[in-house]
Chain A
């Protein structure tokens, strides 16, 4: 068997440690000793209990987020992962965050879980899924009773009635809540029931919201293939669920607004597209053509109408002219005086003047003998 170099051994051990899931997401309680800040900005210290000690390092970026000044003798919770500093063959805790154990258990547990999940990458931007622009199915993972779900339904009704809403009912506070929230998230995912999920509840005390700081809930949100919008409580409450979700809304109503496109805006957009279609160069040209053709048609029609009217007038005239002749055919005659004017009154004539008598055919010039 070939001898290994020291570097190779240290690399092997490092690889081994980094493969272990437990060691990569650790929360350690201990007492600080030998705390040192290096000019590089990194912090080095040792955590101790009654029997043992563990070397720790906290890099500059993480150390910058410390909310207290660590000092020897303090009992703290350290979140981070274990690895090997190869140069020294020394394993150590790479500490992502530190909190004072005395801060109150809820806060400490919250900060610790947050640090652990952050370390694991559950909050990373890279994992955030984009929301669908026009969701057709939206799942509401929340309590089915109460104002919160109704408020959301009302907002969807007003803004985006095109989508189907699926209420996945669960308790949102108390011991059973995390398990039920997780079941709903899984059920909606496994049955591909929705394009986007809103998970949330109305505001309440820190204890009321605690289900949304549960590690199981955080992991179920992270595991969801369907984008998840978290909507917990009111503005200042930021839960672990909010950090893991693809998008965080400050309230359930806000979540409904973020998820739903506005129907009225879309109606306006469609109307403006229709308008643009009408103004497009092609359409403009086409409609000019149509106008030109229409004009020609109209003019042609007018001409046609005009000649019709003329024909009509001529015919009517002819009819009028023809009419007396029909009278003549019945044996009447027209009498005109010397100037050719029809005689309507015998008093206009004198004895001795000439008149022309026209029956249906021919004419006879006659001399008037007397006028009565």
Chain B
């Protein structure tokens, strides 16, 4: 599975802090900057594209608990 939002955000914060300290060698800084930019784009996309999934646990005819769609009234 791809990195979670939490991991991506944490990494982005780490990279930003590191670049702000300005102590990484140039080549590494270039890489970090590229990674950070990509992470920012990724995080923005995750936040913008999120669609909530709502499930209702229900017991089926065989007595097995399964997830069923939960009808949410639209606003």
Residues of chain A whose beta carbon lies under 8 Å from any beta carbon of chain B: 133-134, 136, 144, 150, 153-154, 156-157, 161-169, 184, 187, 263, 266-267, 269-271, 273-274, 276-277, 280-283, 286
Please give me the residue from chain A that is nearest to B70 by CB atom: A167
B40 near A273 (CB under 8 angstroms)? Answer: yes
Q: A136: which B residues are within 8 A, CB to CB? A: 4-5
- Contact, CB under 8 Å: B57 / A168: yes
The size class of the interface chain B forms with chain A is: 35 or more
Interface residues of B in 57-75 (CB under 8 A from A): 57-58, 65, 67, 70, 72-73, 75
| Contact across chains for B20 and A167 when beta carbons are under 8 A apart | no
Judged by DSSP, the binding face of A is helix
- Residues of A near B56 (CB, < 8 A) are 144, 166-167, 169
Mostly helix, strand, loop or mixed at chain B's interface?
A: helix
A280 touches B22 (CB 8 A): yes
Contacts of A153 in B (CB 8 A): 52, 54, 70, 72
Contact of A133 among B6, B16, B55, B70 (CB under 8 A): B6
Q: In the complex the two chains form, what is the Cα distance from A276 to B15 in whole Å? A: 10
Contact partner, A282, options B22, B72, B73, Cβ 8 Å: B22
**30 contacting pairs across A/B (C-beta < 8 A):** A133-B6, A144-B56, A150-B73, A153-B52, A162-B52, A163-B52, A164-B52, A165-B70, A166-B56, A166-B67, A167-B57, A167-B70, A184-B57, A187-B57, A263-B50, A266-B47, A267-B48, A270-B9, A270-B40, A270-B47, A273-B12, A273-B13, A273-B40, A274-B40, A277-B19, A277-B33, A280-B16, A280-B19, A280-B20, A286-B33
Given contacts A154-B75, A157-B52, contact A169 B57 (CB under 8 A): yes
